A and B are shown apart, each in its own frame.
Chain A
Amino acid sequence: MDMPMSFYWSNQAIILFDGWSVQDATGMAFSVIGIICAGALFEGVKRLVGWVGKGKGMLVNRDTGDTSDPEERTPLLKSPPDVALTRKRKHMSHNAVLCRSRLRYHLAQSLLHVLQVVLAYCLMLVVMTYNGWLAIAVFLGAGLGYFVFFADMEIKA
């Protein structure tokens, strides 16, 4: 199994799966659009993980009892490799974590986290095909996703 070791520009590529083989410019164009959407979706999932259970009293700091979300202090400015390779507890769980509704929200957040990690690794593997068009698609998707989903960062009064 050989991988290219430097960037190349070609309309032929095989992306992630043997079945996803791109042969011509049209296929490459569609794949680029798809990867842009996947990159944007990844940024959206990043926001979604923080949004689920946000207003439900989930975010209680274990030490200080502070209910502000510690993650919201700019760690969302992470790039996909940072996200994929960082294992961190995003939300502090209260002592009563085994309360049923909290458990449900925590489970949902965990599943979303799994989805986020999967997407991050997939995007990284797409860049690792070393195809110039696909790499550009990943970068543009990240920028577009950030622009769309992180548009409402506001100050806390």
Chain B
Amino acid sequence: MTTQHFLALLLTLVISNIAHGATTEAPSPSPATGNVETTTVTMHMGHTMQHTMDHGTHPGMDHTGMDHTGTHHHGTHHPGMHHTGMDHTGTHHHGMDHTGTHHHSGGDHAGTHHPGMHHTGTHSMDHSGMDHGSGHSSYFYFGHHEVVVLFLEWTINTVPALIGSCIGVFAIAMLYEGLKVWREMLIVRAQDSKKAASNSYSMTNIANGKSTSTLDVDIAPRATTPRTRDQICNCMHALQSLLHIVQVLVSYGLMLVFMTFNVWLCLSVAFGAGAGYFAFGWRRPITVDRNEHCH
């Protein structure tokens, strides 16, 4: 199963995150203005921000001049923000000018759990006491609060929404396995019909649903090809290419769903893949070679 290996990848991600967090835990003076705010700047990297945040409720915090409209902070000037001891390797602050007196203790943004933090719409947010830390969880968690799945609109806040999302993800994983089997079937069926067309092959085998053709991927280009085969080839190949795009899309989407680190969603992906493999596997036209343990 691909998910097993994906777990290994995530494990390395977690380990690297922990290591990175450890290096940024530099001892630095406590914030001068009393309000500890882990910066929101790193949160906005890469986010399309279409609002202005109202920071009027921040005693002592000077955010005048901080421009959150727009997308990136490259080159913007942040008076009042001072990041002592913060390790910016990996966080994207090219060209930023950090002058001022605002202190950020630590600066460790990894590991703090705030999935689903998003700033759509115009609203005034009350930052007092709210931890802006990392919007991405680095470890598996059980929960249904503020879970963002792939798109900002797909946010889970309640248990029924979580259950519905789990069922949806289960169905998508199942359909993904079905898509893979379907593509194999299409190829074999096309080659059966091609063989019948070019070799006046007996139709009884096709009618019985048996397929004796195997795929032979031949890199060397053929000199001459019969016309009927060309026509079938091009249509089928175009369709296969489109299905390949869909397959790549769905597989990446499932990977990203797994990356939400929500245990329920991850289990849904895994069991959906298993159910799909079970349900569609008996229709697989070609038996899986015993050395292909992870298809």
Contact = CB atoms under 8 A, between A and B. Distances in A.
B145 to A, nearest CB: 14
Contacts of B213: 155-156
B252 A138 contact: yes
Interface residues of A, number: 65
A85 B216 contact: no
Contacts of A1: 17, 20, 42, 90-91, 109-110, 134
A143 B289 contact: no
A127 B256 CA distance: 9
Interface stretch (B27-35, B166-174, B183-191): B183-191
B92 A92 contact: no
Interface stretch (B58-66, B233-241, B275-283): B233-241
A81 B215 CA distance: 23
B43 interface: yes
B242 interface: yes
Contacts of A74: 183-184, 187, 215, 286
Interface residues of B, number: 74
Given A4-B46, A86-B2, A80 B248 contact: yes
B71 A12 contact: yes
Given A5-B115, A6-B148, A143-B244, A68 B214 contact: yes
A35 to B, nearest CB: 13
Contact of B245 (A78, A128, A139): A139
Interface string B207-219: 0000001111111
Interface in B221-244: 221-222, 237-238, 240-242, 244
A79 B71 contact: no
Interface in A35-93: 47, 50-51, 54, 68-82, 85-89, 92
B191 A77 contact: no
Interface in A113-143: 124, 127-131, 135, 138-140, 142-143
Contacts of A124: 252, 255
A7 B180 CA distance: 25
Contacts of B127: none
Contacts of B222: 152, 154
Contacts of A3: 135-136
Interface of B: 2, 5-6, 9, 17, 20, 42-43, 45-48, 71-72, 74, 89-92, 94, 109-110, 115-116, 118, 134-136, 148-152, 154, 180, 183-184, 187, 191, 194-195, 199, 213-219, 221-222, 237-238, 240-242, 244-245, 247-249, 251-252, 255-256, 259-260, 286, 289, 291-295
In the A-B complex, list the 6 residue pairs whose CB atoms are closest, starting with the nearest: A156-B216, A143-B245, A85-B5, A79-B251, A147-B241, A142-B248
24 contacts: A1-B90, A5-B116, A6-B154, A7-B151, A12-B46, A12-B72, A47-B219, A51-B219, A72-B214, A79-B248, A79-B252, A80-B252, A81-B251, A81-B255, A82-B295, A85-B2, A86-B294, A124-B255, A135-B252, A139-B248, A144-B241, A151-B237, A153-B217, A155-B214
